[in-house]
């Protein structure tokens, strides 16, 4: 893998040039939160953020989108494909891993053409990060990344060590070769090794994932779920802020002329009471405990058994955004027998 060095003072010119030929998406500070948004000249990029309010998935699987429009006698028409190329700057390793999880869902087997169009026209530039007390990506094996990006920037203070992960990423480097150096000296290499070794010691939140899918299977009927769910508001904020939750509802809207309309989809959550409601009024998961169990089972058991990796990437958004303060790492740890009163009320 090719590696180059970008001096810190060259980052802004580098991104500014990219923005002239692409739609550039960057992390921005908004109030007390950081969000991914489109770059504007002079905007302040949040280079040292921990996590964004919403994950990158909103740019690949929008919260709401029209799938097709229809009119009697004219058939169905899909919305015009979005045009232009996008560059996504500043994705942390966990969010890059999350996109790879979404690729399993939307690009393997049945291909979601809406997702594929956005994915194919987007280049990914990753950015290193340091954990806070809610990050547990180290436990999930997603704190480092070796693929799934076009470029990856590791912040070493005065310079960025830039890994090239694709031919498109290499083209970006070659186009702006006057801003980078292709020489990685011993001092920079030493700084990189120090960064990697010291970063792993900064993780406070941990989760033992060994045998977790089997433990979840054995605890299916446990009263533990209802106990934990006493604090759960079933608001769905953990699902909406999760970078790998992909459930959506499909609905039709008929125009007043009764002969035209559109079909759309929008994000939903398995924590919602009507999520498992079917015709006849039967609900497969009527209690909050059953719905909370479903969410954790899918993340750490079902997806793991299907794809060989957990659907959770340890970004900490679920815990950071839960209004009830539920610590999902502690919930799962409690299932191993190490009961934490703070986790289960």
Q: Which two tokens stand for residue 8?
A: 């810190």
CB-side neighbour CA atoms (13 Å) of 344: 16
Terminus-to-terminus CA distance in the chain, angstroms? 49
Which residues pair with residue 137 across a beta bridge?
none
Q: Which two tokens stand for residue 205?
A: 């939140």
Residue pLDDT, tens place only, 253-275: 999 999 999 999 999 999 999 99
The mean predicted confidence, pLDDT, of the chain is 93
> Strands 122-127 and 151-155, how do they pair?
parallel
How confident is the model at residue 11, as a pLDDT?
Answer: 96
Whether the Cβ atoms of residue 126 and residue 96 lie closer than 8 Å to each other: yes
Picking from 301, 285, 337, 295, the residue whose alpha carbon sits closest to that of residue 318 is 295
Burial category of 176 from C-beta neighbours within 10 Å (exposed 0-12, middle 13-18, buried 19 and up): middle
Task: Note if the pTM is more than 0.75.
Answer: yes
Q: Which two tokens stand for residue 267?
A: 């994000």
- Whether residue 345 is predicted with pLDDT greater than 70 in this model: the reply is no
Helices 288-297 and 328-335: angle between axes, nearest 10 degrees: 90
Which residues pair with residue 77 across a beta bridge?
69
Picking from 321, 296, 126, the residue whose alpha carbon sits closest to that of residue 241 is 321
Residue 146 and residue 144: Cα distance in Å, rounded?
Answer: 7
Residue pLDDT, tens place only, 123-157: 999 999 999 999 999 999 999 999 999 999 999 99
CA dihedral sign of residues 144, 150, 155, 159: positive
Residue 132 and residue 81: Cα distance in Å, rounded?
Answer: 39
- Whether residue 338 is predicted with pLDDT greater than 90 in this model: the reply is no
Phi, then psi, of 4 in degrees rounded to 5: -130, 175
What is the percent of the chain with per-residue pLDDT over 70, rounded to a whole number?
97
Residue pLDDT, tens place only, 48-102: 999 999 999 999 999 999 999 999 999 999 998 776 799 999 999 999 999 999 9
């Amino acid at each position: 893998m090719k590696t180059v060095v970008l001096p810190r003072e060259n980052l802004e010119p580098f991104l500014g040039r990219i923005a002239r030929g692409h739609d550039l998406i960057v992390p921005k500070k908004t109030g007390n939160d950081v969000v991914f948004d489109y770059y504007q000249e002079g905007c302040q990029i949040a280079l040292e953020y921990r996590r964004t309010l919403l994950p990158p998935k909103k740019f690949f699987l929008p919260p709401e989108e029209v799938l097709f429009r229809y009119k009697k006698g004219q058939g169905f028409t899909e919305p015009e494909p979005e045009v232009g190329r996008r560059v996504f700057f500043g994705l942390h390793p966990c969010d890059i891993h999350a996109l790879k999880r979404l690729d399993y869902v939307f690009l393997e087997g049945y291909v979601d053409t809406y997702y594929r169009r956005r994915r194919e026209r987007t280049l990914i530039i990753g950015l290193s990060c340091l954990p806070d007390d809610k990050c547990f990506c180290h436990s999930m094996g997603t704190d480092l990344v070796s693929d799934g990006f076009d470029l990856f920037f590791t912040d070493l203070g005065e310079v960025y060590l830039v890994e090239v992960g694709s031919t498109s990423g290499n083209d970006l480097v070659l186009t702006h070769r006057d801003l980078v150096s292709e020489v990685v000296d011993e001092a920079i290499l030493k700084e990189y090794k120090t960064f990697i070794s010291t970063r792993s010691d900064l993780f406070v939140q941990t989760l033992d994932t060994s045998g977790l899918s089997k433990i979840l299977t054995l605890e299916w009927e446990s009263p533990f779920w209802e106990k934990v769910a006493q604090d759960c508001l079933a608001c769905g904020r953990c699902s909406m802020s999760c970078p790998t939750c992909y459930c959506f509802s499909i609905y039709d809207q008929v125009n007043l002329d009764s002969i035209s309309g559109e079909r759309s989809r929008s994000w939903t959550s398995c924590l919602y009471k009507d999520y498992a409601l079917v015709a006849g009024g039967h609900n497969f998961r009527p209690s909050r405990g059953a719905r909370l169990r479903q969410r954790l089972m899918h993340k750490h058991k079902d997806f793991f058994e299907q794809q060989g990796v957990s659907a959770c990437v340890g970004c900490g958004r679920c815990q950071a955004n839960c209004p009830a303060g539920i610590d999902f790492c502690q919930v799962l740890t409690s299932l191993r027998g190490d009961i934490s009163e703070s986790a289960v009320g």
